[in-house]
C-alpha cells in the first residue's frame, strides 16, 4: 500500500529543484570565466614566445657570423668566452657549438665541453631544425668544415608547458561541464514528467473524470510514478468511500454514513448498489439473504452471475454502462427451493457525476401475490353469488309481468321466491360490507335488546322456500319461550343465516337441517345441524379461515365465497361468544353459536 510519505519521497521538494538550478548557474559562470582566462593567457603567451624567438633569431644570426670568423682564426677561447657572456647577458638558456659527431667544442656552460681543442677533421652536420624554444644555425668555417650553433631560449621550459593552475582550471571546467550535462538530463527528465502531468490536468479540467484515463507514462520519471500512485490512491479511497456510504448517502460525517448503512441493513428489501459493469459495490443484509450469499462474497462479484437466472440477468443488463436513465422491473422466483415465492427485482441507474452505476431492489412479493389471487378469487366468487339471486329475480319478475293472468297461488309463490332472493342478495351485500369493515378495522356492533323468538321467525321465513326447492326438511326445534339478549341484531342474523345457508348448500336433496336452542344461567346456544357431507377433522378449523375452500371433491361446483364462516365467527366473537363445530364425514355437521346473556364486554371494535 502506498502511503503519502512514500509519495513525498518519490517527489523531490521544490527547494532541491532551486538548488539544482543554482548549481547549474554557478557551473555556467565557472566555465565561462575559466574559458576566458585560458584564451587570454594563451594568446599573450604566444605573442611573447613569438617575439622572443624573433629577437633570438636576429641575435643568433649575428652571433653565428662572429663565431664563424673567430673559428676560422682559431680563436676558440674567444668563442667560448663569447658564448658564456652572451648566454649570461642575452637571457638565453644555453648556447653551444656542436660538431657533426656530437662533440661539443664550446658551450655557455664550460662543463659540457667535450673537445678542449679544435679537431682537425669536422664530420658533416646533418639536417638542422629549429622549433619552439630552440634554434639550430649552421656554422661554415673555411678550411675546417661545418658545425652547428645550437641556442636554447631561456625560460621556455616553464613558459611552454601547461601550468598547474591551468590544469586545475581545466579539471574544474570539465567537471562543471559534466555537472551541467547531468543537470540538463535531470531537468529534462523531470520536466518531461511535469509536462505529462500538466497535460493530464488539462484533460481533467476539460471533463475527463476517469482516473485511469489521467494516468501518465511512468518512464517520465518519479513525478509520473508519484502522480499515478496518487491517482490509484484516489480510486481506492473512492471505492472505500462508496462501499461505506453504500447508497451514495451524502453523509456529513462518518457517523451519518454509519447510520445510513445501519438503516439499509434494517430494510426488509434487499438493496444492492452496482457499478456500471453490474459488479456489486454494496449489498445490505436482506440482499445477502435473498441471494443466499455472504455479504463479503457479494462485494465485487457480478450481480447477474449471483442471481443466476437468465431472464433476470437479461432484464438487468440495460443498467450496465451508460448514465442514461434506465429502470427495469421483473418478477420471478429466484430461490429454486421455494418456487412458490415471487420476488420483484427492480433496478434504476444512479447517474453520479463521476461514475455510472445502479441500485437494485429485491422484494419478496409472495404475500402480495397470494393476497392478489385471493382477492381476485373473492371478486369472482362474489360476482357469481350476486348473479344467481339477480337471475332468479329477473326470471320470476319477467314471468309475472308477461303473464298477468297467473293464478293467485303461483303469483304468491313467485313473490315469495323473489322476496327470498332479495333477502339473499341483502345477506351477500351485508357479508361484503362486513368483510370490508373487518378488513378496515371499522366494524362496530350496534347493540340493542334482541328478541330471539322474532329472529328465529325471520330465519324460518327466509329459508323455507330455498329448503323446499331443494327438497330439504328444515326444522326449527325451539322452546315455547325464548330469551331476549343484548346484541347487534343484524350481525347475529348474518351469523345464523350463514350457518343455515351453508347447511342447505352442503346437504343433498332429501336431507334434513335442524335449528335448536339451548340456554344455561349466563349463555345461550343455537345449534344448526345437517345431514350433509360432513367436514373432516383436519378441516374443522380451516373452514373458519378466510377464503378457505375445502379440498373435498364432493363440493366441486358448489359455489361459495369462502367468507361466510369466518365472518360469522368473527361477529359472534365480537359479542363475546364463539362458533364451534362437531362433524362426521358422510353423516353431517353441527355448528353451535354461543352468546353471553349479559351485555357484551367488547362493544368497541
CB of 393 to another protein, least distance (A): 8
Provide DSSP, 3-51: -HHHHHHHS--HHHHHHHHHHHHHHHHHHHHHHHHHHHHHHHHHHHHHH
As measured in angstroms, the least distance from the Cβ of 469 to another protein is 4
Find all residues with CB under 8 Å of 576, minimum gap 6, and list them: 595, 596, 600, 601, 602
Cα separation, 518 vs 212, whole angstroms: 88
Whether the CB-CB separation of 299 and 280 falls below 8 Å is answered with: yes
Give the helix/strand (H/E) hosting 397: helix 366-402
Q: Which of 81/470 has CB closer to another protein? A: 470
Nearest approach, Cβ of residue 553 and another protein (Å): 9
Looking at 441-525, list the stretches that DSSP marks H as alpha helix, in order from N- to C-terminal side: 452-469, 489-505
For another protein, the closer CB: 136 or 406: 406
Nearer to another protein, 364 or 421 (CB): 421
Closer to another protein by CB, 38 or 414: give it. Answer: 414
Least distance between another protein and beta carbon 421 (Å): 7
> For 82, what's the count of Cα atoms within 13 Å in the CB-facing half-sphere?
22
**Nearest-angstrom CA–CA distance, 244 and 281:** 9
Please say which residue, 332 or 505, places its beta carbon nearer to another protein.
505
- Closest approach, Cβ 426 to another protein, in A, equals 17
Q: CB of residue 602 vs another protein: minimum separation in angstroms?
A: 39
Taking the least distance from each CB to another protein, the nearer of 37 and 414 is: 414
Min dist. Cβ of residue 256 to another protein (A): 55
Least CB distance from residue 471 to another protein, whole Å? 8
Q: What residues line the site for another protein (CB under 8 A)?
A: 383-384, 387-388, 390-396, 398-399, 402, 417, 421, 469-470, 509, 555-559
Q: Grid coordinates standing for 174?
A: 570539465
End-to-end CA distance of the chain: 67
Closest alpha carbon to 48 in 153, 182, 136, 146: 153
Closest CB to another protein among residues 104, 395: 395
Give me 127's grid cell. Answer: 639536417
Cβ closest to another protein, residue 235 vs residue 379: 379
Residue recorded with cell 351485508: 430
Kindly tell me the number of DSSP H helices and DSSP E strands found in the chain: 16, 16
List of residues 6+ apart from 227 with CB closer than 8 A: 193, 196, 197, 200, 215, 216
**Residue whose CB is less far from another protein, 115 or 465:** 465
Shortest CB 503 distance to another protein, Å: 16
Using the Cα atoms of residue 453, residue 457, residue 462 and residue 463 in order, give the sign of their dihedral. Answer: positive
CA angle 430, 436, 442 (to 5 degrees): 100
Amino acid at each position: 500500500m502506498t502511503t503519502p510519505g512514500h509519495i513525498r519521497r518519490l517527489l523531490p521538494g521544490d527547494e532541491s529543484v532551486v538548488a539544482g538550478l543554482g548549481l547549474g548557474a554557478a557551473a555556467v559562470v565557472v566555465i565561462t570565466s575559466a574559458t576566458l582566462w585560458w584564451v587570454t593567457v594563451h594568446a599573450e603567451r604566444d605573442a611573447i614566445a613569438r617575439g622572443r624567438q624573433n629577437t633570438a633569431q636576429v641575435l643568433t644570426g649575428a652571433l653565428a657570423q662572429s663565431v664563424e670568423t673567430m673559428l676560422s682564426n682559431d680563436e676558440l677561447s674567444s668563442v667560448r668566452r663569447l658564448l658564456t657572456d652572451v648566454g649570461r647577458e642575452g637571457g638565453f638558456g644555453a648556447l653551444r657549438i656542436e660538431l657533426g659527431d656530437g662533440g661539443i667544442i664550446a658551450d655557455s656552460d664550460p662543463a659540457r665541453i667535450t673537445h678542449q681543442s679544435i679537431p682537425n677533421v669536422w664530420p658533416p652536420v646533418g639536417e638542422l631544425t629549429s622549433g619552439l624554444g630552440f634554434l639550430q644555425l649552421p656554422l661554415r668555417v673555411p678550411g675546417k668544415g661545418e658545425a652547428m650553433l645550437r641556442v636554447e631560449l631561456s625560460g621556455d621550459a616553464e613558459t611552454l608547458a601547461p601550468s598547474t593552475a591551468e590544469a586545475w582550471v581545466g579539471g574544474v571546467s570539465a567537471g562543471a561541464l559534466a555537472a551541467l550535462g547531468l543537470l540538463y538530463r535531470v531537468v529534462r527528465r523531470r520536466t518531461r514528467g511535469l509536462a505529462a502531468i500538466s497535460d493530464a490536468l488539462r484533460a481533467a479540467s476539460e471533463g475527463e473524470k476517469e482516473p485511469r484515463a489521467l494516468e501518465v507514462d511512468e518512464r517520465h520519471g518519479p513525478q509520473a510514478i508519484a502522480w499515478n500512485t496518487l491517482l490509484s490512491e484516489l480510486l481506492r479511497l473512492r471505492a472505500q468511500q462508496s462501499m461505506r456510504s453504500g447508497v451514495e448517502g451524502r453523509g456529513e460525517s462518518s457517523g451519518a454514513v454509519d447510520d445510513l448503512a445501519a438503516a439499509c441493513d434494517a430494510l426488509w428489501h434487499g438493496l444492492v448498489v452496482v457499478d456500471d459493469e453490474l459488479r456489486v459495490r454494496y449489498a445490505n443484509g436482506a440482499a445477502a439473504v435473498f441471494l443466499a450469499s455472504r455479504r463479503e462474497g457479494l462485494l465485487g462479484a457480478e450481480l447477474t452471475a449471483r442471481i443466476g437466472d437468465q431472464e433476470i440477468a437479461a432484464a438487468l443488463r440495460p443498467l450496465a454502462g451508460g448514465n442514461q436513465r434506465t429502470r427495469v422491473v421483473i418478477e420471478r422466483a429466484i430461490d429454486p427451493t421455494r418456487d412458490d415465492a415471487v420476488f420483484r427485482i427492480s433496478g434504476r441507474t444512479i447517474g453520479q457525476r463521476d461514475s455510472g452505476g445502479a441500485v437494485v431492489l429485491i422484494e419478496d412479493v409472495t404475500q402480495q401475490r397470494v393476497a392478489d389471487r385471493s382477492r381476485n378469487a373473492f371478486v369472482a366468487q362474489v360476482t357469481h353469488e350476486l348473479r344467481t339471486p339477480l337471475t332468479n329475480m329477473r326470471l320470476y319478475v319477467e314471468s309475472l309481468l308477461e303473464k298477468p293472468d297467473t293464478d293467485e297461488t303461483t303469483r304468491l309463490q313467485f313473490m315469495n321466491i323473489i322476496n327470498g332472493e332479495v333477502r339473499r342478495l341483502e345477506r351477500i351485500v351485508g357479508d361484503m360490507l362486513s368483510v370490508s369493515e373487518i378488513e378496515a378495522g371499522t366494524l362496530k356492533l350496534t347493540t340493542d335488546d334482541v328478541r330471539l323468538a322474532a329472529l328465529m321467525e325471520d330465519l324460518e321465513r327466509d329459508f323455507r322456500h330455498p329448503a323446499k326447492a331443494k327438497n330439504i326438511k328444515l326444522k326449527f326445534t325451539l322452546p315455547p319461550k325464548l330469551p331476549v339478549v343484548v346484541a347487534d341484531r343484524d350481525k347475529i342474523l348474518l351469523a345464523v343465516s350463514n350457518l343455515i345457508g351453508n347447511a342447505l348448500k352442503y346437504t343433498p336433496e332429501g336431507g334434513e337441517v335442524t335449528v335448536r336452542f339451548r340456554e344455561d344461567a349466563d349463555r345461550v346456544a343455537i345449534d344448526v345441524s345437517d345431514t350433509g357431507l360432513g367436514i373432516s377433522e383436519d378441516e374443522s378449523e380451516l373452514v373458519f379461515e378466510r377464503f378457505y375452500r375445502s379440498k373435498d371433491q364432493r363440493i366441486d361446483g358448489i359455489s361459495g365465497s369462502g367468507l361466510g364462516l369466518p365472518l360469522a365467527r368473527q361477529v359472534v366473537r365480537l359479542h363475546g361468544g364463539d362458533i364451534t363445530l362437531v362433524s362426521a364425514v358422510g353423516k353431517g355437521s353441527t355448528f353451535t353459536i354461543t352468546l353471553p346473556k349479559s351485555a357484551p364486554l367488547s362493544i368497541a371494535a
